[in-house]
């Protein structure tokens, strides 16, 4: 990145200019971007508000990509800085930020600006500060002309910005005649027809898959962690006839910053939890959460149906004089005890802990004994531990005296279903899309599993409900919705890349998807696998 040139240019525009150096050692090499030891520099200039104290600020962030991929965005940012400097109506400081190494640079700057260290990034700090950041816009342009703008809203761990910020961008795009899309899909005029409904469903499904991944779809995704409402705007230059120059884009951004400059309080009136079938319509949390609640009822009803007879036996001992046709259970069968849960629960949690820790800790050992790179060793270790969990012994409860009761599997299934319901409910409140996808795949299989049914059929259903298969099917579904279908080999490569990328984002940015699946969902799935092969 041309650090000195950027500093000189911003200084000549009359801004307060600062630089920030940072470094980060990745837990294992990122083969996609070919990096392991990352050193970079962020440059930012502060336009002080002439009409107020430096208590609040707005951010215009531009990632400086390798080569000339985002040079147009840097040039537009400098033009806006020169124009903003001449105006006197600003009531908030405006920070013009140029980051290096995409999300790593943004995370380093945010941690230094807020004086915290969440991801072990080494930074020189931010000597210049403005007020509390109210909103941020991340800009990405691939050409000096645009035919449309694609807006990205999904942030880290599925966080979404306030809906008012998205509505503000949509309103200015309509005012300036710019086409705006979401998930790369243009809204249809015949939205109330059958093709219009299918198009909205396709857009909605793409947003669900993007949010469920927990991956930030732009630099804005890291701002949301700090309660800063942010969007990423991507200028698209396609084959459409209507094209717009930088003047129209600049007017749109200037209008947005003037509106945000008039804010008297943080954006909080509109929704933070929503799904978007298009930019002009949304599905609020009050509509989709009841459907999720009805889905969880599938866990409760079969559980009660199976456990009520057992509870009746526990509360009322069997008496053939009172009930001649009753089937009496032995004391061990009627009261299997909680000891039956200890061995399988400990083994399943140990398998989840190994899945979370060993891939990164054991990469050096794997590279010494096998001809693979560090990144390949991490991914292959994840797959090996995941598959090995299915081969764990499923009769460990019998090592304890009196723990091998015939109805012990009911107790184990009850614990698994209750824990699964609690995990899904908590997850749906934070990332509805991820909670819904896991519930749609795991709930039917969890409700149907039992050791007395058709084992082969139930085993196939349970394997198809595992989170790994859900991830693989999600990759194929996303490619189909994007109208670029992937073959079996390409889909498998994307699956392996997604495993490594998910673990890397957990260590670099604090994504919760990896520990959630490894320490929460995967052990619960192993408990259900134990129920199926109960002896």
Mean residue pLDDT across the chain: 84
Say whether both 454 and 525 belong to one domain.
yes
- Give how many domains the chain has, as a whole number: 2
Core vs surface per residue 254-283: b (16+ CB within 10 A) or e: ebbbebbbebeeebeeeeebbbbbbbeebb
pLDDT at residue 196, rounded to an integer: 84
Say whether both 349 and 270 belong to one domain.
no
Residue 327 main-chain phi, psi, to 5 deg:
-95, 110
pLDDT in tens, 400-456: 554 445 567 778 888 888 899 899 999 988 899 999 999 999 998 988 888 887 888
Question: What domain range is 298 assigned to?
Answer: 288-310+339-533
Say whether both 496 and 453 belong to one domain.
yes
Q: Considering the domain boundaries, does residue 28 fall inside one?
A: yes
Say whether both 448 and 508 belong to one domain.
yes
- Is the pLDDT assigned to residue 355 strictly greater than 70? yes
Say whether both 268 and 304 belong to one domain.
no
- Collapsing DSSP to helix, strand or coil, 228 comes out as coil
Say whether both 306 and 174 belong to one domain.
no
Q: Considering the domain boundaries, does residue 315 fall inside one?
A: no
Q: Considering the domain boundaries, does residue 332 fall inside one?
A: no
Query: What is the distance between the alpha carbons of residues 212 and 471, in angstroms, rounded to a whole number?
Result: 10
Say whether both 396 and 482 belong to one domain.
yes
Residue 416 main-chain phi, psi, to 5 deg:
-65, -40
Say whether both 20 and 137 belong to one domain.
yes
Contact 374, 500 (CB under 8 A): no
pLDDT exceeding 70 applies to what percent of the chain? Answer: 89
pLDDT in tens, 209-254: 999 998 999 899 999 999 999 999 998 887 777 788 888 889 999 9
Say whether both 157 and 74 belong to one domain.
yes
Say whether both 251 and 306 belong to one domain.
no
Task: Indicate the pLDDT class of residue 325, thresholds 50, 70 and 90.
Answer: very low
Q: Computed over its alpha carbons, how large is the radius of gyration of the chain?
A: 27
Q: Considering the domain boundaries, does residue 348 fall inside one?
A: yes
């Amino acid at each position: 990145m041309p650090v000195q040139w950027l500093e000189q240019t911003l200084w000549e525009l009359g801004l307060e200019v600062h630089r920030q150096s940072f470094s980060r050692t990745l837990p294992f090499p990122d083969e996609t971007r070919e990096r392991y030891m990352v050193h970079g520099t962020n440059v930012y200039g502060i336009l002080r508000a002439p009409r107020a104290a430096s208590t609040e600020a707005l951010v215009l962030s531009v990632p400086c990509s390798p080569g000339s991929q985002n040079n147009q965005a840097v040039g537009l940012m400098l033009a806006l800085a020169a124009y903003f400097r001449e105006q006197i109506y600003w009531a908030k400081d405006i920070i013009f930020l140029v980051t290096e190494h995409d999300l790593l640079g943004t995370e380093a700057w945010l941690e230094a600006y807020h004086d915290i260290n969440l991801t072990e990034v080494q930074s020189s700090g931010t000597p210049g500060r403005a007020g509390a950041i109210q909103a941020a816009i991340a800009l990405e342009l691939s050409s000096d002309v645009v035919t449309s703008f694609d807006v990205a809203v999904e942030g880290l761990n599925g966080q979404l910005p306030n809906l008012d910020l998205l509505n503000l961008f949509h309103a200015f795009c309509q005012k300036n005649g710019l086409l705006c899309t979401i998930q790369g899909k243009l809204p249809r005029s015949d939205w109330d027809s059958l093709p219009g409904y299918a198009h909205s469903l396709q857009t909605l499904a793409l947003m669900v898959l993007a949010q469920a991944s927990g991956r930030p779809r732009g630099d804005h995704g890291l701002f949301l962690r700090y309660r800063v409402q942010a969007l990423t705007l991507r200028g698209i230059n396609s084959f459409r006839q209507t094209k717009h120059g930088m003047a129209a884009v600049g007017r749109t951004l200037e209008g947005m910053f003037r509106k945000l400059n008039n804010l008297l309080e943080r954006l909080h009136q509109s929704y933070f939890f929503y799904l978007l079938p298009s930019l002009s319509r949304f599905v609020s949390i009050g509509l989709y959460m009841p459907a999720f609640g009805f889905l969880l009822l599938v866990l409760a009803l079969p559980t009660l149906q199976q456990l009520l007879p057992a509870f009746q036996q526990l509360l009322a001992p069997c008496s053939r004089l009172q009930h001649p046709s009753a089937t009496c259970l032995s004391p061990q069968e009627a009261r299997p005890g909680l000891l039956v849960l200890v061995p399988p629960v400990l083994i399943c949690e140990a398998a989840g802990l190994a899945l979370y820790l060993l891939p990164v800790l054991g990469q050096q050992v794997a590279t010494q004994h096998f001809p693979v790179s560090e990144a390949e060793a991490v991914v292959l270790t994840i797959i090996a531990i995941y598959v090995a969990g299915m081969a764990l012994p499923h009769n460990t409860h019998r090592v304890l005296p009196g723990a091998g009761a015939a109805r012990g599997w009911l107790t184990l299934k009850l614990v698994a279903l209750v824990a699964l319901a609690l995990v899904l409910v908590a997850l749906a409140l934070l990332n509805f899309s991820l909670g819904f996808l896991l519930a749609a795949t795991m709930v039917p299989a969890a409700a149907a599993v039992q050791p007395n049914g058709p084992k082969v059929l139930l085993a196939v259903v349970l394997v198809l409900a595992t989170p790994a298969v859900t991830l693989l099917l999600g990759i194929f579904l996303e490619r189909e919705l994007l109208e670029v279908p992937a073959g079996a080999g390409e889909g498998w490569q994307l699956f392996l890349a997604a495993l490594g990328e998910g673990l890397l984002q957990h260590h670099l940015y604090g994504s919760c998807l990896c520990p959630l699946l490894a320490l929460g969902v995967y052990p619960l799935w192993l408990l259900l696998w134990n129920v199926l092969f109960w002896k």
